[in-house]
């Protein structure tokens, strides 16, 4: 691994996906800035990356606060030019429309859409000075489909996708690759496994088809493919799903 | 015109479109509730409807306030069962991503998405008691496309569309028709005419092709078609545009 | 019913949908031209329309033959100016990819796509002389989704949709309304009832939820709505489905 | 370059894109089968690959003939298990609807859709025996949009996309990666340069922005990314375009 004089920021490294992205980018030589609420929970990830020879900074970050996003990304850019910014905050909740409180609706939007706008805008501001960069947003099935019980979550994810589209149309000509990666599948995380256990029982979990859930590292690899694309053939959006998934 | 013992609520009657919808529904016999900020500006519309023999209530309404939406719609429902609710608030702004302040981004969302969620949820709550109703949302080109300068507006309109989709999937089986009408065209309003004058000059406005802009009443007619559909063949979404529009 | 000096052609009146469209348009005063293979099977439909006071011509028509389409439509236009042309031929088959013979693939395309192209082109040729008209194409779920076993059928329906789009973009400015109606549901026909019986048994058919299948007349009403739209607010495409349908 | 005991077939290697794909796959160690009408025109490509140390077979192939497709692919599979099949035949023509002859409509479909069905089906048949493989289809802007003058071409490309979708849904669970690559851009080929010269003049061509056209090798690299995806996170469809393209 050759170190690069470039920084990659991962906003929303609280789950397995963000951690996998951080590890992949560290392994490719980037200095990593990872942010999440309760930054102390980042300690194991930071340690794992450092043991592997990577360079990483873990920070507490409430990405719904403009000033925190500004300082997180500008600090990252001071270490080395900000080259990659991945916005990876989800807020997957399911409530019937009538039980969706205004508080839930607003909070899910602030986490999954509004903070993505702030991250994209601020990353763009820094990257425009360097004349290059990649800004990636993590989407979900709910980015394209407002299903039963998903008024709040889908609304936020649809909104984030629009931000990504507008940003891409404005920033691509400036040599900044904006892309939107839609994960149309369950991902193999503790949270997803817990839900399977709740719904289907311990036996279902014990006998889980290894191909049913997407490994977090596969998401990281998908981002790495996007990063490597030549600017003569950029992709804005792609949907990934396991080979056995129904769609 | 036979009066109906049913109420239709139009939220966002500040522009020509909302007024046209209100007039059409009044002409079809509904008792009308129209709400907008600065409700005193509704006086000419209220008068016009009343002169035509319609029954109408104009109200000041800040649709971003949950308690105001609740009382507006429940007051409507007290007059006669709430049968139709049209959410028609836009917030069409265009700013480059880097000049989109967090305040603009949030405010556009509150006006064009969040208040639509509140209106849809509260209308549903009332209509479920009657076992029927129609909830319609006004969309725009930006509901499907995040164009240059539209990070804020498209994000809100995408988000509103997701609310409409989730609501439709939940409420159709309860005999409530939720639909999303996309206006893919300029509409003939003072505001649009002003913009044409600014951009293209007075001469362009004077010689305006009468087929270039969509008359507000055509939007009202489109809603009226949606209302008349039998539940055996409902439409969730349709895009309307003038015959000469490029798309 | 006031008779109109206008003709409506329905190509593919072999099923219940085409018959319902023909009856609706006859009831609205159009002279009707209906075509299908084995035109003698049109006798009951022709009789029913005539008994109702309508004016109708039933013809044998192989819509895959250019010269037959040309003469069918020009004969219609000679009765009275061709005002409406509905292309309604389906060819719903389901075969696994490996069992889809080249003959099936080609035949389905000829029936459901190629003949639609011929009909649209020839209707346009006649309508351009009158400076007005409506050309409508019947689509299906498979117009938007290539599902398991639908390589042949979806390929033809996707292809027909492209023809409709290109025709709409070329002909709308000429005052010809081209539209594509997607039926995202089973329709209540003998053929569909037979399939339910085969798959689910006689009891399932006897206890069929009356809201499960779309009545053919609802499709006809949807076309009638499209026909009535003012050109200032035309719709190109709409999907209809019953209120209880999952989507 | 380590030789692989695997064959890659490229159907439609008549243009620069197919040649670039063949060269890329040869460089990755596959034995290459390239087919096009007038197979003798493949001589320079075959020579170039051989000089580079690759193993390649050039064949005359009319992909609209079932028996030719069958023997082309089974011959390829006899050299070494067929691992990759790229269907790359286009037929980009533009005619107003009324000037689109039935012969053109049919021929474009046979070239761009029907032969793709044959190729996909036959590749699947062989790959199912090996329990693995990749089948890739080249799409275009017209795969998603039926523009003015594109009734024939878009109809064929829409139809090919449906074949790809149905094939993907059937074959992914069998460990065969079916994908559809949409090139939403001009590609830097002699034919495209000729058209620019015709429309915009020699000076436009001489001063061509090097970023305006997509280099054929960028398409090949996009296919190579698709090939490398782990089956836990496959992509069905992606659109590639240069960073400066309007969309």
Phi, psi at C40, each rounded to 5°: -65, -25
pTM for this entry: 0.97
Say which DSSP state D36 is in: E
How much is the pLDDT for A29?
97
Residues A79-108: pLDDT tens digits? 999 999 999 998 899 999 999 999 999 999
Compute how many other C-beta atoms are within 10 angstroms of the C-beta atom of residue B14.
21
CA A119 → CA A63, A64, A113, A221, distances in Å? 8, 9, 10, 22
Distance CA B161, CA C33 (A): 41
Whether A66 has a pLDDT exceeding 90, the answer reads yes
The DSSP symbol for A191 reads H
What's the pLDDT tens digit per position in B167-206?
999 999 999 999 999 999 999 988 888 888 998 999 998 9
CA–CA separation, A70 vs B53, rounded Å?
57
CB contact under 8 A, A150 and B157: no
Instruction: Give the phi and the psi of residue B57 in degrees, each rounded to 5.
Output: -125, 125
CA distance C60 to C39: 4
Chain D: closest CA distance from residue C105 (Å): 8
Answer whether A187's CB lies under 8 Å from A242's CB: no
The DSSP letter of residue D112 is I
Which residues in B lie closer than 8 A to residue C229 (C-beta atoms)?
A: 221-222, 225, 240
Report CA-CA distances (Å) from A41 to A36, A38, A71, A90, C91. 8, 6, 20, 17, 59
SS (H, E, C) D174-217: HCEEEEEEEECCCECCHHHHHHHHHHHCHHHHHCCCCCCCECHH
pLDDT at C10 over 90: yes
Closest-CA residue of chain D to A238: D238
How do strand D82-87 and strand D55-60 relate by DSSP bridges? unpaired
Does C224 contact chain B (CB < 8 Å)? Answer: no
Q: Which helix (H) or strand (E) holds B177?
A: strand B176-183
Strands D234-235 and A237-241: antiparallel
How far is C62 from chain B, CA to nearest CA, in Å?
A: 30
Beta bridge partner(s), residue D8? D32, D84
Residue B217 near residue C196, CB atoms below 8 Å: no
Q: What pLDDT score does C103 carry? A: 98
Q: What is the pLDDT of residue B201?
A: 93
Residue D184 tokens, joined: 């939403």
CA distance C213 to chain B (A): 8
> What would the mean pLDDT of C45-74 be, rounded to a whole number?
97
Residues 147-206 of A with CB under 8 A from D: 169, 172-173, 175, 177, 185
Each residue's pLDDT tens digit, C67-76:
999 999 999 9
Q: Alpha helix (H) ranges present in A1-142?
A: 16-27, 43-51, 66-79, 102-109, 115-130
User: What does DSSP assign to residue B35?
Assistant: E
pLDDT computed for residue C139 by the predictor: 98
Residue A212 has pLDDT above 90, yes or no: no
> Is B210 part of the contact surface with chain C (CB cutoff 8 Å)?
no
Q: In this complex, which of D113, D142, D151 lies closest to C155 when CB atoms are compared? A: D113
Strand partners, B237: B180
| Averaged pLDDT of chain A | 96
Q: Mean of the per-residue pLDDT values for chain D?
A: 96
Q: Could you tell me which chain C residue has the CA closest to the CA of D141? A: C162
Phi and psi, residue A107, nearest 5°: -70, -40
Question: Cα(C89)–Cα(C9) distance, rounded to whole angstroms?
Answer: 13
The angle that helices D115-130 and D66-79 make with each other, rounded to 10 degrees, is: 30
Q: Which of B180, B132, B20 has the alpha carbon at shortest distance from B10?
A: B20
Give the pLDDT of residue A1. Answer: 64
For residues D118-151, one letter each, b for 16 or more C-beta atoms within 10 angstroms of the residue's C-beta and e for the rest, the string is: bbbbbbbbbbeeeebbbbbbbbbbbbbbbbbbbb
Count the Cβ atoms, other than its own, within 10 Å of residue A189: 18
Q: Which tokens hold the place of B97?
A: 């991503």
Query: Which residue of A lies nearest to D176 if distances are taken between CA atoms?
Result: A243
Selected for mutation to probe chain B from C233, C242, C245 (highest B CB count within 10 Å) is C233
Chain B contact for C214, CB < 8 A? yes
**pLDDT for residue C209:** 86
Cα A153-A158-A160 angle, rounded to 5 deg:
95
Question: Are β-strands A7-11 and A82-87 bridged in parallel, bridged antiparallel, or unpaired?
Answer: parallel
Residues B169 and A148 sit within 8 Å (Cβ to Cβ): yes
Instruction: Give the pLDDT of residue D209.
Output: 86
Q: What is the dihedral of CA B43, B47, B49, B54, to 10 degrees?
A: 110
Dihedrals phi, psi of C122, to nearest 5 degrees:
-70, -35
Tell me, what's the pLDDT at D15? Answer: 74
Q: Quote the CA–CA distance of C34 and C53 in Å, as a whole number.
A: 16
Q: Nearest Cα to D115, choosing from D35, D22, D216?
A: D35
| C90 has pLDDT over 90 | no
> Over the stretch D114-163, which tens digit does the pLDDT of each residue have?
999 999 999 999 999 999 999 999 999 999 999 999 999 999 999 999 99
Does A159 sit within 8 Å of B146, measured CB to CB?
no
Strand partners, B24: none
- Could C162 and D165 be called an inter-chain contact, meaning their C-beta atoms sit closer than 8 Å? no
Among the partner-chain residues A177, A230, A237, the one whose CB lies closest to the CB of D221 is A230
Which residue in the block uniquely carries the two structure tokens 């904006």? A178
The whole-number average pLDDT for the span B147-169 is 98
Question: What chain C residue is nearest to B218 in terms of C-alpha separation?
Answer: C233
Residue B14 scores a pLDDT above 80: no
How high does pLDDT run on average in chain C? Answer: 96
CB contact under 8 A, A233 and D222: yes
A contact chains, 3+ CB pairs < 8 A: B, D
d(CA C226, CA D91): 34
What is the least distance, in Å, from the CA of A190 to any CA of chain B?
27
pLDDT tens for D215-237 read: 999 999 999 999 999 999 999 99
Cβ contact C112:C91 at 8 Å: yes
Rg (CA), chain B: 18
> In Å, how far are B1, B226, C163, C170, C196 from D97, measured between CA atoms?
45, 32, 9, 8, 40
Checking if the pLDDT of A226 tops 80, the result is: yes
- Nearest Cα of chain A lies from the Cα of D141 at a distance, in angstroms, of 14
Position C1 scores a pLDDT of 64
**B75: confidence class by pLDDT, cuts 50, 70, 90:** very high
- Both tokens assigned to C126: 């006649």
Q: Taking residues D85-92, report their average pLDDT.
A: 93
pLDDT at C167 over 90: yes
Residues of B (28-67) whose Cβ lies below 8 Å from C: none
Q: Does the structure show a pLDDT above 70 at D164?
A: yes
Helix H or strand E encompassing B179: strand B176-183
**Could you count the other beta carbons within 10 Å of the beta carbon of residue C246?**
8
Name the band, by pLDDT with cuts 50, 70 and 90, for residue C169: very high
Three-class DSSP category at D133: strand
What six digits make up the tokens of A177?
């690759």
pLDDT at position C221 over 90: yes
Residues 6+ apart with CB under 8 A from C25: C8, C10, C32, C84, C220, C224
Beta strand spans in chain C (E): 7-11, 31-36, 55-60, 82-87, 133-140, 176-183, 234-235, 237-241
Residues 6+ apart with CB under 8 A from C140: C90, C92, C157, C182, C183, C184
């Amino acid at each position: 691994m050759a170190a690069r004089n470039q920084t990659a920021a991962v906003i929303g490294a609280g789950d397995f996906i963000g951690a996998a992205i951080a590890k992949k980018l560290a392994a490719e030589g980037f200095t990593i800035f990872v942010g999440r609420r309760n930054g102390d929970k980042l300690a194991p990830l930071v340690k794992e990356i450092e043991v592997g020879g990577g360079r990483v900074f873990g920070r507490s970050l409430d990405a719904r606060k403009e000033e925190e996003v500004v300082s997180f990304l500008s600090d990252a850019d001071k270490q080395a030019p900000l080259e990659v910014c991945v916005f990876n905050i989800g807020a997957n909740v399911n409530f019937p429309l009538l039980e969706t409180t205004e508080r839930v609706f607003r909070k899910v939007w602030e986490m999954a859409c509004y903070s993505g706008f702030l991250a994209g805008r601020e990353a763009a501001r820094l990257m425009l000075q360097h004349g290059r960069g990649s800004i990636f947003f993590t989407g979900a099935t709910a980015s394209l489909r407002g299903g039963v019980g998903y008024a709040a979550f889908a609304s936020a994810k649809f909104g984030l996708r629009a931000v990504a589209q507008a940003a891409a149309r404005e920033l691509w000509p400036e040599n900044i690759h904006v892309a939107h990666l839609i994960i149309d599948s369950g991902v193999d995380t503790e949270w997803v496994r817990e839900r399977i256990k709740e719904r289907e029982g311990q036996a279902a979990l014990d006998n889980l088809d290894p191909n049913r859930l997407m490994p977090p590292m596969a998401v990281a690899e998908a981002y790495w493919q996007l990063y490597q694309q030549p600017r003569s053939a950029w992709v804005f959006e792609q949907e990934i799903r396991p080979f056995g998934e129904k769609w």
